[in-house]
Amino acid sequence: MSRDRQAVVWTRQSGQPLKMGRLYITDTECRFSYELDYLSTQLPGLGLLYPPHIIQDTTIVRPRTEFFDFLPPIQALIPPREEKNFQRKLVLSYLAKNGIQPTPGIDADWEILKIAGHGAIGHLDVFQSDQKAMEWYAASANTELFEISDDIGFSLKEMLTWFDQDADSLINIIGPTPSVGGAIPKILLSIPDTGWDNRIGLPSRSVSHGRTDVLVKFEQNTAYPGINELEALALDVHKAAGFAVPRYWLSDIKGIPVLVVERFDRDALQTPLFTESLYSILATGDADITHHYSYSYDAIGTAIDRSPIDIISQRKAGKQHLLKRLIMSLLTGNGDLHLENMSVTINNQQNEFTPVYDPTPMRAYSIHNMLSVMPFGDYGELLEKSDHPVGLVEAIQRLARHFHISPSQLDEILQSCLAATEGFCEQVDQLQTLPDLNKSNLIKIVSRVRQQIGAMAEKL
């Protein structure tokens, strides 16, 4: 038996740092209790399905599994376990530099959580102790902006120091430009709120005027050439289809192409807003969910409809949003609209989907060429009393029916998506950095889907 591990969770949702509760990891369980003082704040809690007013002074207990050592909202703060993952490597090198070389697995995850679990995406800040939390919040982050042309090394060093007070020597390991590998490498920074102008600063740690916190995605030229421009185009067409889409800028940092995206988990003064991915929410409610794609769109709709605690407050609108996201994903050759690529935020006490992020047409890259990473409407299944597998059109109709979306509402969604993606193939063709082969593959793929969905819309 190993010793229980203990950490604390704080949040800055009110604008001020507040302790939310305590976290324990035992050999077999993950546990969390809210602070009694926190209960009276009426603020949202750890996750949507752990509402403070319902949990109250009981302790949340979840058995640890192969897939979740932590409660899902906490697990979300730990980078994926792939060795090559940029974010994971960054923190592990920092730890090694400080003489901490945890064994891979829960030991490593725990050490990473204590260092990288605060100031990250969302509203939760995990610390080793209250003392560490107070020190971190009290140390005003360097609020200077650095000209990128000056010395990215320095800025990057500051960025890493931001993780923790004593991360000084880290830059020696990282080198002047970040290494690439694994899932899309990214860092969090801030820029002037007037927009990207080649000056960057550290992410905000307190109420902050004149700044915008951003997520910066580095392009991996070998694995995914042209991906940033492609993601930017996808953001544009989602905006044209009526979705909320964050501001973004395409640029480069020391020769590495970057996509800079405004963070929607921060308000105008950079105060954290409650944010939780569908993966975290649904895995909280359903222990059978083991991966970010181990579910179906149909099942998400059922969860939205049946959950005793609101996942999305306007359930009907939520399901329409979901169906429309799927149609857009099909029409743009995304295929990768999984549970971690959709999140929920709370706006005026309403739980709603966040703005669109990561809508990248991944089918442009042959290893990701699949219609959809998650099933819908029994697509491809051989159903009883039928001699052919369910086709695309039938699957969309089945899903719409399952969502209680009428044919005329479905038609409205299809028309809006078709209109927004009308010029998509030409736009793809005009991209500067996507290689020709990827262009022609993507155009071929989406043209076929478009033909099917277009024909379906005509018949409705």
Rounded Cα distance, 268 and 270, in Å? 5
Binding span for ligand ADP by CB under 6 A among 108-116, 261-269, 299-307, 408-416? 261-269
Q: Which value, to the nearest 10 degrees, does the dihedral of the CA atoms of residues 256, 261, 267, 271 take?
A: -30
- Is residue 260 part of the contact set for ligand ADP (CB under 6 A)? no
Q: Of 358, 420, 438, 445, which one interacts with Mg ion (CB under 5 A)?
A: 358
CB of 340 to ligand ADP, least distance (A): 5
Q: Of 341, 345, 360, 372, which one interacts with Mg ion (CB under 5 A)?
A: 341
146 within 8 A of 154, measured Cβ to Cβ = yes
End-to-end CA distance of the chain: 62
- Is residue 183 part of the contact set for ligand ADP (CB under 6 A)? yes
What sign results for the dihedral spanned by CA atoms 308, 311, 315, 319?
A: negative
Greatest alpha-carbon pair distance for the chain in Å reads 68
In the bound state with ligand ADP, the residue whose beta carbon lies nearer, of 293 and 403, is 293
CB of 276 to ligand ADP, least distance (A): 9
Q: Which residue has the tokens 């080793």?
A: 128
CB of 407 to ligand ADP, least distance (A): 33
The residue among 141, 162, 149 whose CA lies nearest residue 211 is 141
Q: Of 94, 146, 264, 297, which one interacts with ligand ADP (CB under 6 A)?
A: 264
State the Rg of the chain over Cα.
Answer: 22
Which residues are paired to 11 by β-bridges?
18
In the bound state with Mg ion, the residue whose beta carbon lies nearer, of 358 and 378, is 358
In the bound state with ligand ADP, the residue whose beta carbon lies nearer, of 7 and 216, is 216
- Is residue 277 part of the contact set for Mg ion (CB under 5 A)? no
78 within 8 A of 70, measured Cβ to Cβ = yes
In the bound state with ligand ADP, the residue whose beta carbon lies nearer, of 80 and 454, is 80
CB of 414 to ligand ADP, least distance (A): 26
Site string for ligand ADP, 344-383 (x = CB under 6 A): -------------xx-------------------------
274 within 8 A of 346, measured Cβ to Cβ = yes
Backbone phi and psi for residue 355, each to the nearest 5 degrees, phi listed first: -55, 165
CB of 183 to Mg ion, least distance (A): 8
Chain center to CA of 151: 30
Which residues, other chains included, contact 338 with Cβ-Cβ below 8 Å and sequence gap of 6+? 279, 292, 293, 373, 374
By a kind-dependent CB cut-off of 5 to 8 A, residue 43 interacts, out of ligand ADP, Mg ion, none, with none
- Is residue 341 part of the contact set for ligand ADP (CB under 6 A)? yes
- The two structure tokens encoding residue 35: 């602070």
Rounded Cα distance, 381 and 72, in Å? 31
- Is residue 329 part of the contact set for Mg ion (CB under 5 A)? no
Binding span for Mg ion by CB under 5 A among 6-14, 239-247, 276-284, 356-364? 356-364
- Is residue 277 part of the contact set for ligand ADP (CB under 6 A)? yes
Tell me which residue has its CB nearest to Mg ion: 358
Q: Which of residues 205-224 bind ligand ADP (CB under 6 A)?
A: 215
Site string for ligand ADP, 99-118 (x = CB under 6 A): --------------------
Sort strands 275-277 and 211-218 into parallel, antiparallel or unpaired: unpaired
Rounded Cα distance, 185 and 86, in Å? 5
> Interface residues with ligand ADP (CB under 6 A)?
121, 183-184, 215, 246, 261-265, 277, 340-341, 343, 357-358
> Interface residues with Mg ion (CB under 5 A)?
341, 358
